Amino acid sequence: MSEHPKLNEWKELATKQMKGKSVESLDWMTPEGFKVKSLYTAEDLENMTSNTLPGMEPYIRGPMATMYAGRPWTIRQYAGFSTAKESNDFYLKGLAAGQKGLSVAFDLATHRGYDSDHPRVSGDIGKAGVAIDSVEDMKILFDGIPLDKMSVSMTMNGAVIPILAGYIVAAEEQGVSHEQLSGTIQNDILKEYLTRNTYIYPPEPSMRIISDIMSFCSKNMPRYNTISISGYHMMEAGANSVLQTAFTMADGVEYVKAAIKSGMDVDAFAPRLSFFFGIGMNFFMDIAMLRAARFLWHRLMSQFNPKNPKSSILRTHCQTSGWSLTEQDPYNNVIRTTLEAMTSVLGGTQSLHTNSFDEAIGLPTDFSARIARNTQIIIQEESQICHVVDPLGGSYYVESLTNSIINEAQKIIDEVEEQGGMAKAIESGMPKMRIEESAARKQARIDQGLDVIVGVNKYKLADEKIDFDVREVPASVRDEQVARLIEIKATRDNAAVKSALENLVDVAKTGGNLLEAALPAARARATVGEISDAMETVFGRFVATTRCISGVYSSEFKGDDTIIEDLKKRTTTFLERQGRRPRLLVTKMGQDGHDRGFKVVASAYADLGFDVDICPMFQTPEEAAKMAIENDVHVVGVSSLAAGHKSLIPSLIEELSKVGGEDIIVIAGGIIPPADYKFLFDAGVKAIFGPGTPITDSADKTMCLLEEKYLT
């Protein structure tokens, strides 16, 4: 590579201005392992694939020739909570205020294929999304929203068959034909086994479900995107930009292979594939990630010899990070979301959701959602960004980062292929372990202050108070849903429901299209739970093995590790005086599958000298209490993310007292509004650690509780 003719002169000038320090001392190592220089020149672009144009292969500069100069990205806010009526009101307000498309968030019971009256989901109804039990709920959800004109995105993977069937039937009863429907169903089950965990069935029948939906929609719903291949949840679980790119692309290849294996022609479905990327605070890296993903998808699709150019074009939705939002100094989140939105736009997204600033504390309110939505509108209509196609095209730095991501992600994709594809790789545990290692390293850097989070580990406020409303979903939502279920079952033709469900079971056993078979059941008012259960009788329900990595958190501490060593000494002292190490059970009750927080905590506490047990996912308070007693633990740590803390944690404490575990210390962490702290303390919780709490701080407090109880 030839150097810029004045590069040495620049180095001399820079060294002089830095009072003798070398320019190389400014180099930065990214979490992806890239060495980033302080200056890039045209010479850094030699032999790179940057000389391309938007709308032309390999699509680095965008999937459309005119991009936002021709049509801005779609403002698509992800929302849903409480009942269908509450969510419908929220949607109508958003559409009136400039939102252009719907993106539906379902509650966790719905994701996992349970009706609202199921005993396992009593703390989950309407909390992290809207509760949908039948077509009747779906009709209310879209009341006053013309489904022939409105693009609807639905984040659903586990219960995808009954939810998509319910949407189609609700549209039919609006007078909207199948071919008029537009939007996207996420339908990405591989990432559920990898990170989010809202699966129902084992991998093989789940892949069949995906193929059946692709087949039905390609024939009957030509405007509808049959899958949104998601890296977002990988990012939220801890994946850096290279891991998100590589594993998302590998998932996509696996779905293409499954569809082709089922007999579909690649050009019949590939043009309707879409992607979903998570955007964090590494501004230029994530811009480069979107560019690299388009290049890689074009390259990877070439192996299937598509004839339609659209089969090789990556189109994507983006969402700003929820994990980057902080409970501390929460108005800072408005700025974070704005930067992440700019990243998405400069990277060339086709649609975008911007998170609300209060989502580290609770569900978004009308006030916070308006700010989030206006963030996009202001960028789109005030910044003048939309007038130029790919304004960062040709940037020495961005193009160099793009090339680095392409090369490193391709290595991981090749590694996945050597294992037999993404499904086999997931079975081996490799992708999940890589993501969890990345998350543990990130947390260790934050806890040391190496990665700055303003208001959390630097520039902290001395006295913080939440001075805005926090949305709370009342327990009465479950009562409303149960009453509706009772009414539906009393007024429907139960013989027709029984016949339709029996036919669905037969199709699951002997073959046929599952979505097509579910439509008569949905029309007859079979519930989401009944349709899911019918398939479960054939496919079974998947139960994952929960594992914990070790050594990563402590190994990431650099220089002064006094805090780590002090905590290790204290756990060793506990061992010497009590005859065993302090034992912690980490649990995540309810149906929320996001496991980054409690996996990182479990890994870090193990590194600090605790004996750590991890509950299986989706436990009830009764099951968690039983495991705590059987494992003879000193502490139960409850991870909460989905607003079920006010019902699930008191229930756990009550169950512990019933089975002789009243002496077990209960601590809690996660997204818990500060206004609820007193309620939990009164219920018996001994310590609460909100988002952003350094693990070393929480471990110190936990040890203080143990030392006070057992060593004094």
- Assess whether 594 carries a catalytic annotation: yes
User: 606 with 548: CB under 8 angstroms?
Assistant: yes
- Assess whether 710 carries a catalytic annotation: no
Residue 429 region by backbone torsions, left for phi larger than 0, else alpha for psi between -120 and 50, else beta: left
- Return the SS3 of 39: coil
Q: In what order do the strands lie in the sheet with 101-105?
A: 224-225, 183-185, 152-155, 101-105, 74-79, 351-353, 316-320, 273-279, 227-230
**Catalytic pick from 111, 127, 588, 634?**
588
**Catalytic pick from 432, 594, 645, 646?**
594
Report the C-alpha gap between 519 and 521 in whole angstroms: 5
SS (H, E, C) 569-629: HHHHHHHHHHCCCCEEEEECECCCCCCHHHHHHHHHHHHCCCEEEECCCCECHHHHHHHHH
Report the C-alpha gap between 92 and 99 in whole angstroms: 9
| List of residues 6+ apart from 234 with CB closer than 8 A | 191, 194, 195, 243, 244, 247, 248, 278, 435
- Assess whether 592 carries a catalytic annotation: yes
**Catalytic pick from 107, 124, 358, 592?**
592
Output the six-digit token pair for 15: 């060294």
Report the C-alpha gap between 42 and 29 in whole angstroms: 21
Report the C-alpha gap between 157 and 237 in whole angstroms: 17
**Catalytic pick from 127, 233, 432, 599?**
233
- Assess whether 232 carries a catalytic annotation: yes
Output the six-digit token pair for 271: 């043009």
**Catalytic pick from 59, 232, 553, 605?**
232
User: 91 with 140: CB under 8 angstroms?
Assistant: no
Report the C-alpha gap between 572 and 563 in whole angstroms: 14
Phi, psi angle pair for 299, to nearest 5°: -65, -45
Report the C-alpha gap between 323 and 228 in whole angstroms: 21
**Catalytic pick from 59, 68, 78, 201?**
78
Q: Which residues are catalytic?
A: 78, 232-233, 588, 592, 594
